[in-house]
Structure 1
Amino acid sequence: MSKHAPQIKIPASYMRGGTSKGVFFRLQDLPDAAQVAGAARDALLLRVIGSPDPYGKQIDGMGGATSSTSKAVIVSKSSRPDHDVDYLFGQVAIDKAFVDWSGNCGNLSAAVGPFAISNGFIDAARVPQDGMATVRIWQANIGKTIVAQVPVSNGMVQETGDFELDGVTFAAAEIQLDFLDPAADEDGGGGAMFPTGNLVDELEVPGLGRLKATLINAGIPTIFVDAAAIGYTGTELQDAINGDAKALAMFETLRAHGALRMGLIQHLDEAANRQHTPKVAFVAKPADYVASSGKVVAAADIDLLVRALSMGKLHHAMMGTAAVAIGTAAAIPGTLVNLAAGGGARTAVRFGHPSGTLRVGAEARQQDGDWVVSKAIMSRSARVLMEGWVRVPG
């Protein structure tokens, strides 16, 4: 009997959703020990993705060595009324043995509907031969509903199309996502969209001094600051920040102080174990710039500029959850996001990010003096890159 056990095979799909990609599993296909939250599940996903990797390359796994490609998703039949599937997202750290379950991935949300239809989670009677299938998704990390409109052709998910998404090289079929009641019920956030009660707060941040910030819980907890206040223009691409250790340390300090003010952590040093949330982003008025693909983005074609960091690095495009936060904050007069977009009431914005532009809408209204957003709306695309089994040493 060999002392070297064979690898175990687990059914999985490798999918792109928006500007991210990840490994998708059906809960029922996972080994028994990994069907419940805990150390066994985390260990499995770390090994699948290829983390922790001191080389930072994830060569021995499915991860792509960036926060956008170091992700795992578990889908199950929903236990909730009026929902089709439960969607659980794990952000897998690259160099640490850590899976962050504290938030959603808005980009991969676009792939959940197609995965649910293709994997038998949706009653066949609800999938048209040709047309739109509506998939109601329970986002289990944050306790929110996402409604996906998935195009169907010849009774199967339509993946090809002419919808273009900046940050994704090839066109595909458009999937509309409605993030219902997106103010996040984060632990400590109390479900308030503005956890401090203010549209704009002042943070005292070492090295930066007093800094105006909009702290919002929508889509994902996000800290927005003005680009100029931290020495940027809002036209930066990844290279301008990701190779600058001093800048990255400054952003992490800012993120920790914002997290503390939002009530997401009780002590500054807890931020290190909460890398996925909150996000930190900076905004500016429109300006011309050249996107990472070489395409020129004209100031006249956008309402504002936004750059956001994810897992300690400037994101190559925009996280879908942060886009929800941008659309929500833009709809509320007086936030830093709204002011960068020119102020006033608005139901949608087109913003410039490092890869190009993105349009996001939100429906906001005042109720008893508080702002509520019934939904944020955006379009994404998704497709299966590969399917079969992932293998991991037992």
Structure 2
Amino acid sequence: MSHKPQLRIPATYMRGGTSKGVFFRLQDLPAEAQVPGPARDRLLQRVIGSPDPYGKHTDGMGGATSSTSKCVIIGPATRPGHDVDYLYGQVAIEEDFVDWSGNCGNLSTAVGPFAVANGFIDPARIPREGTVEVRVWQANIGKTIVVHVPVSGGQVQETGDFELDGVAFPAAEVVVEFLDPAEEGEDGGSMFPTGNLVDTLEVPGVGTLEATLITAGIPTVFVDAEAIGFTGTELQPAINGDPAILAKLEAIRVAGALRMGLIRTPEEAATRQHTPKVAFVAPPRDYVSSSGKPIAAADIDLNVRAMSMGKLHHAMMGTASVAIATAAAVPGTLVNRAAGGGAREVVRFGHPSGTLRVGASVARVDGQWTVTRAVMSRSARVLMEGHVRVPAA
């Protein structure tokens, strides 16, 4: 019996924010994987090592967590005024699917440096020293992201002294702007898809809960931590090791997805794990982060914990950070309430790995709340570049 050699595909392994993933140029993928469909999904799954019933990704590039089971495809811009198209695939770990329903805000940080280093930006625009603005079309959700890439010696600057909680080592600061980050709802444009700042959810097996449902950054279901038996200072072991707690949080996510119109039946949630997110919020309170660093209540506006692909995230997703900052800026939401109320344009929140500061500009237009811009600082760097090998079958 003859065996075909493995495919050899150019790829770059990158960290962006508190996530990492395998980056591809669209033109480098096999022809059948350059278009959406089963062939693309199968290829990316095999790259990551999914589906893996052992949940380890031993036979792939994935890290067996929601933060490390990711693939990115970068292609030439198809929209005027943009430099590249960015498509993001969240690869399920044990299940057999790739979720294309949303963006990864953390890996958005790495898209700019990747675009500069891989020839997508006119060299005349790249300064010897300074920054270059990369305008990214986020193809999953149809939104614009502007990544301000630091440049040193005419090359992408990756090293520096910017520290990001959730990442062990400092690197160069990359400022990321999410423009008009809210997805339109059925009411014609509100980032609150039900038209309410606070809804009442009937959650089977849990009860009646208040929830803020928002689509800024990524569709997110916010609930009050105390209402579901938490303090908002929990770390991963307290949540991820308890099947009953995970089931409760998934039930809340499903109820929110139904109310937001993202799914028609509860069963559909199993194939839409990336969105919506579910997060619980609480007023500021002292705690010790996962690295052992003390976080003082006086240094934050609120505490937030968010679930990603069925588990508590080790830090905070970039897109969820946009949702947090936006909801915090709108008086009356559960997030704003946890932060002490009132108007604000910047929020600093505590998460399992430390703290994060995010800005959001909101306004009320014709009776509806809108967000024009959200900004945060992250970092990114290349971990490895060359080729990935994938069995031809």
Q: Distance in 2 between matches of 1:23 and 1:365?
A: 37
Is residue 2:220 matched to residue 1:222?
A: yes
2:90 is matched with: 91
Q: Tell me, yes or no, if the aligned pair for 2:329 and 2:345 is still in contact at 8 Å.
A: yes
Q: Tell me, yes or no, if the aligned pair for 1:347 and 1:363 is still in contact at 8 Å.
A: yes
Give the CA deviation at 1:79: 1.1
Q: Tell me, yes or no, if the aligned pair for 1:163 and 1:171 is still in contact at 8 Å.
A: yes
Listed one character per residue, the Cα deviations across residues 192-237 of structure 1 (whole Å, up to 9, x for unaligned) are 3000000000001122211000000000000000000000000000
Specify the code of the residue in structure 2 equivalent to 1:307: R
1:6 is matched with: 5
CA 1:185–1:41 in structure 2 vs 1: closer, same or farther (change >3 Å)? farther
Pairing 1:90-169 to 2, within 5 Å after superposition: 90-169=89-168
Listed one character per residue, the Cα deviations across residues 73-106 of structure 1 (whole Å, up to 9, x for unaligned) are 0000101100000000000000011100000000
Given candidates 259, 262, 282, the residue that maps to 1:261 is 259
Give the CA deviation at 1:191: 4.6
1:199 is matched with: 197
Give the CA deviation at 1:184: 2.0
Specify the code of the residue in structure 1 equivalent to 2:336: N
Is residue 2:10 matched to residue 1:15?
A: no
**Identical-pair percentage:** 74
2:370 is matched with: 372
Given candidates 265, 268, 275, the residue that maps to 1:277 is 275
CA 1:167–1:48 in structure 2 vs 1: closer, same or farther (change >3 Å)? same
Does the residue aligned with 2:115 lie in a helix, a strand or coil?
A: helix
Q: Tell me, yes or no, if the aligned pair for 1:364 and 1:372 is still in contact at 8 Å.
A: yes
Aligned CA RMSD, in angstroms, stands at: 1.0
2:317 is matched with: 319
Specify the code of the residue in structure 2 equivalent to 1:365: A
Q: Distance in 1 between matches of 2:141 and 2:188?
A: 12
Q: Tell me, yes or no, if the aligned pair for 2:187 and 2:195 is still in contact at 8 Å.
A: no
Listed one character per residue, the Cα deviations across residues 265-319 of structure 1 (whole Å, up to 9, x for unaligned) are 1111111110000000000000000000000000000000000000000000000
Does the residue aligned with 2:261 lie in a helix, a strand or coil?
A: coil
Q: Distance in 1 between matches of 2:187 and 2:357?
A: 27
Unaligned runs of 5+ in 2: none
Specify the code of the residue in structure 1 equivalent to 2:268: E
Pairing 1:74-89 to 2, within 5 Å after superposition: 74-89=73-88
Q: Tell me, yes or no, if the aligned pair for 2:144 and 2:179 is still in contact at 8 Å.
A: yes
Listed one character per residue, the Cα deviations across residues 119-148 of structure 1 (whole Å, up to 9, x for unaligned) are 000001111110010000000000000001
Q: Distance in 2 between matches of 1:156 and 1:189?
A: 46
Does the residue aligned with 1:333 lie in a helix, a strand or coil?
A: coil
Does the residue aligned with 1:57 lie in a helix, a strand or coil?
A: coil
1:181 is matched with: 180
1:211 is matched with: 209
Larger CA deviation: 365-374 vs 221-230: 365-374
Structure 1 stretches of 4+ moved >6 Å = none
Is residue 2:298 matched to residue 1:300?
A: yes
CA 1:60–1:191 in structure 2 vs 1: closer, same or farther (change >3 Å)? farther
Q: Distance in 1 between matches of 2:114 and 2:26?
A: 13
Q: Tell me, yes or no, if the aligned pair for 1:189 and 1:262 is still in contact at 8 Å.
A: no
TM-score w.r.t. the length of structure 2 is 0.99
Q: Distance in 1 between matches of 2:118 and 2:313?
A: 31
Q: Distance in 1 between matches of 2:187 and 2:217?
A: 13
Does the residue aligned with 1:69 lie in a helix, a strand or coil?
A: coil
1:333 is matched with: 331
Larger CA deviation: 177-186 vs 157-166: 177-186
Does the residue aligned with 1:177 lie in a helix, a strand or coil?
A: strand
Q: Distance in 1 between matches of 2:125 and 2:44?
A: 32
Give the CA deviation at 1:189: 8.6
Specify the code of the residue in structure 1 equivalent to 2:146: V
Q: Distance in 1 between matches of 2:39 and 2:292?
A: 44
Specify the code of the residue in structure 2 equivalent to 1:232: F
Unaligned runs of 5+ in 1: none
Does the residue aligned with 2:388 lie in a helix, a strand or coil?
A: strand
Q: Tell me, yes or no, if the aligned pair for 2:190 and 2:368 is still in contact at 8 Å.
A: no
Q: Distance in 1 between matches of 2:37 and 2:214?
A: 29
1:29 is matched with: 28
Give the CA deviation at 1:185: 4.5
- Would you say how many aligned residue pairs link Structure 1 and Structure 2? 392
Specify the code of the residue in structure 1 equivalent to 2:175: Q
Q: Distance in 1 between matches of 2:21 and 2:188?
A: 30
Give the CA deviation at 1:190: 5.8
Q: Distance in 1 between matches of 2:216 and 2:364?
A: 16
Specify the code of the residue in structure 2 equivalent to 1:13: T
Pairing 1:353-364 to 2, within 5 Å after superposition: 353-364=351-362
Q: Distance in 1 between matches of 2:188 and 2:281?
A: 26
Q: Tell me, yes or no, if the aligned pair for 2:213 and 2:220 is still in contact at 8 Å.
A: yes
Give the CA deviation at 1:377: 0.5
Larger CA deviation: 203-212 vs 307-316: 203-212
Larger CA deviation: 191-200 vs 135-144: 191-200
Does the residue aligned with 2:208 lie in a helix, a strand or coil?
A: strand
2:66 is matched with: 67
Does the residue aligned with 1:102 lie in a helix, a strand or coil?
A: coil
